[in-house]
Amino acid sequence: MNSPFSLAKAYEKYFRIGAAVSHLNIDSYRDLLAQHFSSITPENELKYSSTEPEEGVFTFDDADKIFDTARSLGIKVRAHAPVWHNQTGEWMYLNGDKPAPPELIYERIDAHSRALCERYNEDVYAWDVVNEAARDDLSSEEEASASDVYRGSKYFRMTGTGFIEAAFRSMDKYSPNAQLFYNDYSECEPGKRERIVKLLKNLQQKGCRVDGFGMQQHYFFEPDYDELKRSIETYAGLGLRLHITELDISLMATINPGTKRLKPDDPGFEEYIKESLHPTPAKLAKISDIYVKLFDVYRSYSDVIDCVTTWGVADDYTWLDHFGGAPGMPHVKQYPLMFNADHTPKPCIEENIALAQRG
């Protein structure tokens, strides 16, 4: 009897296969999720703006829809990023008309963590407890933080690293059976990698339970596979489990000759726009080819990688369609995922299944 045509089934001996979903599109992806995936990540539905828009006022309808669907499919949930510098209401930082003291912010994080865990613990196997707290190289906000490691977010300016520690201690208390992850992007860039390692080591030294690191893996240029391997080994060397958490491959990766995301004022950006408006079959095929090469690396590190999640399911819905542009710029459709807009599989699905089954 032939093996089922299922990416999740083919990879169950290696790692889970996951996808980020929205409450707005999960119904349309039900069949794909059932066939090819073994993990679901709510894209925005567990962030503060979605679950606690005002202090003590909880709104779970959107998240419930995702959890109900996951439960009906028998799929566990990677719960994503309640503590993040974006999508957090101003109430978090205020005590009346004055700035909130750190202790009040910690209390609010604790109360929020408790509410999420009481509602969803049964279905969650891992939490992205804190998202993107390490600084980038260039940002006026980050430069103002006077930190060589941490993003100069409002959280950090008001509490230092205390908000990160408070979030992990709360999740450890209320979700003792789930894995706890720190999650970040540009994690293979050497400078950012060094900052992330310092952040993680600091948490470990403070006695916080950190089970793993989430490597986002958004690609806007051809992956440096040697740097990817070096990064996996570096993070695993801290004694952490690894998840690939937000994998996608922009059309830019098929055009950009550099190692940084092209931005509107950068040389080469206009050429990227022109080529992307009418992508050739060869450019689209290259995205599929990159997925095969990446999965080859991920399989080779399946002793430390437990899950690979794409940031979306199919090309009909992707955040990249609305990211990185500028006013007046033509709309660029992206094709960053492993399934086409009509939900048919790209060649990388069949090839990756065959490679996994071959061992």
- pLDDT reading at 138 higher than 80: no
Considering only 16-30, 71-85, 136-150, 319-333, which range has the smallest mean pLDDT? 136-150
Q: Output the average pLDDT for the chain.
A: 95
Considering only 41-55, 96-110, 137-151, 345-359, which range has the smallest mean pLDDT? 137-151
CA distance 92 to 88: 7
pLDDT recorded at residue 55: 97
Q: What is the mean pLDDT of residues 127-136?
A: 97
* pLDDT tens digits, one per residue of 75-97: 999 999 999 999 999 999 999 99
Cβ atoms within 10 Å, residue 148: 10
Place of tokens 């240029």: 221
Residues marked as catalytic: 132, 246
Query: Who's near 4: CB < 8 A, 6+ residues apart?
Result: none
Radius of gyration, alpha carbons of the chain? 20
pLDDT recorded at residue 141: 55
- pLDDT reading at 144 higher than 70: no
User: Please, which pLDDT band fits residue 1 given cuts at 50, 70 and 90?
Assistant: very low
* pLDDT tens digits, one per residue of 156-182: 999 999 999 999 999 999 999 999 999
Quick one: CATH architecture of 7-358?
Alpha-Beta Barrel (3.20)
* pLDDT tens digits, one per residue of 206-243: 999 999 999 999 999 999 999 999 999 999 999 999 99
**Amino acid identity, position 171:** M
Domain boundaries of the chain, sorted by first residue: 7-358
Greatest pairwise CA separation for the chain in angstroms: 68
pLDDT recorded at residue 327: 83
CA distance 42 to 215: 17
At 94, which helix (H) or strand (E)? strand 94-95
- pLDDT reading at 343 higher than 50: yes
242 backbone φψ class: left, alpha, beta (φ>0; ψ -120 to 50)? beta
- pLDDT reading at 137 higher than 90: no
pTM value? 0.96
pLDDT recorded at residue 145: 62
pLDDT recorded at residue 328: 83
